Amino acid sequence: MENLIIQRNISIPASALTFSFSRSGGKGGQNVNKVATKVAVTLNIDSIDASDEVKRRIKENLSHRLDSSGNVRIVSQQSRSQWKNKQIVLQKLLELVADASRTPTERIATHRTPTSQVKRLTQKQLRSKQKSLRQKKNFIDE
């Protein structure tokens, strides 16, 4: 297997990926009991060929998926084929690392237009009036 290239400056060496195979649940009939079609891949984030800034960003964005050793693990048992599950796992890994390595875009602060502000307030008044009309009034006979 060759290295996985995610972007121009980010790649994963094939030696950094650890595959494990096990028996999968679900469909497959008698094959389920004989063939190890479930695929799990483990990747240590430190072994990615990228700058330290990109690695830091990936670790930060994937912090909820990392174990105590800094490994991310992805599992697939969708298909009855081990080869297909391996392809699914690699695709998931590529997408996961690509998404995590993106720099977040800065939010541009905006203001409400005066017209939208007036419209919002009139809608609030109408809603308040509608709700107040639903209330039961307690009239006391005097």
Task: Give per-residue burial for 46-85: e unless 16+ CB within 10 Å, then b.
Answer: eebbbeeebbebbbebbeeeeeeeeebebbbbebbebeeb
pLDDT for the residue 119: 97
- If you write DSSP's letter for every residue of 37-49 in order, what string do you get? -EEEEEEEGGGSB
Nearest CA-CA partner of 88 in 21, 41, 28, 29? 41
| pLDDT digits 0-9 by tens, 26-49 | 666 677 777 888 899 998 888 888
* Confidence check: pLDDT of 142 > 60: no
- Cα separation, 114 vs 62, in Å, equals 41
pLDDT for the residue 104: 84
Q: What confidence category does residue 141 fall into, taking pLDDT thresholds of 50, 70 and 90?
A: low
